[in-house]
């Protein structure tokens, strides 16, 4: 579930440009900066460092703090994970 969602997100051109160009830094909420910074690092590792098998463990751990249903390694709903990631990014970035 997590792999498919993250693969889709790190291949979304507009999202990739937003994070790779560090545009998100001007929008970041200082109180909730960890999730967007870690997400940016995932994108950077994949697109700049050309690491095909990026380990999302830190990102998952941060998200699990906010959404405990993602603790552990049991199968989860991909749509629920997708919505949780987008909501977390949305809340962490000032509109």
Q: Is 93 helix (H, G, I), strand (E, B) or coil?
A: strand
- Cβ neighbors of 27 (< 8 A, separation 6 or more) are 93, 94
pLDDT in tens, 26-82: 999 888 899 999 999 999 999 999 998 899 999 999 999 998 888 877 667 889 999
For residue 4, pLDDT beyond 70: yes
Query: Residue 71: its pLDDT value, please?
Result: 84
pLDDT in tens, 12-23: 999 999 999 999
Query: Residue 95: its pLDDT value, please?
Result: 62
Query: Residue 52: its pLDDT value, please?
Result: 85
pLDDT bucket at 5, cuts 50 / 70 / 90: very high
12: left (phi over 0), alpha (psi -120 to 50) or beta: beta
CB count, 10 Å around CB of 60? 17
């Amino acid at each position: 579930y997590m792999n498919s969602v993250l693969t889709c997100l790190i291949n979304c051109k507009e999202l990739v440009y937003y994070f790779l160009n560090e545009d998100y830094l001007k929008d970041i909420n200082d109180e909730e900066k960890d999730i967007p910074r870690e997400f940016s690092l995932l994108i950077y590792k994949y697109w700049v460092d050309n690491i095909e098998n990026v380990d999302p463990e830190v990102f998952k751990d941060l998200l699990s703090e906010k959404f405990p249903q993602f603790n552990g390694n049991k199968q989860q709903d991909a749509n629920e994970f997708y919505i949780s990631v987008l909501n977390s990014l949305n809340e962490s970035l000032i509109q």
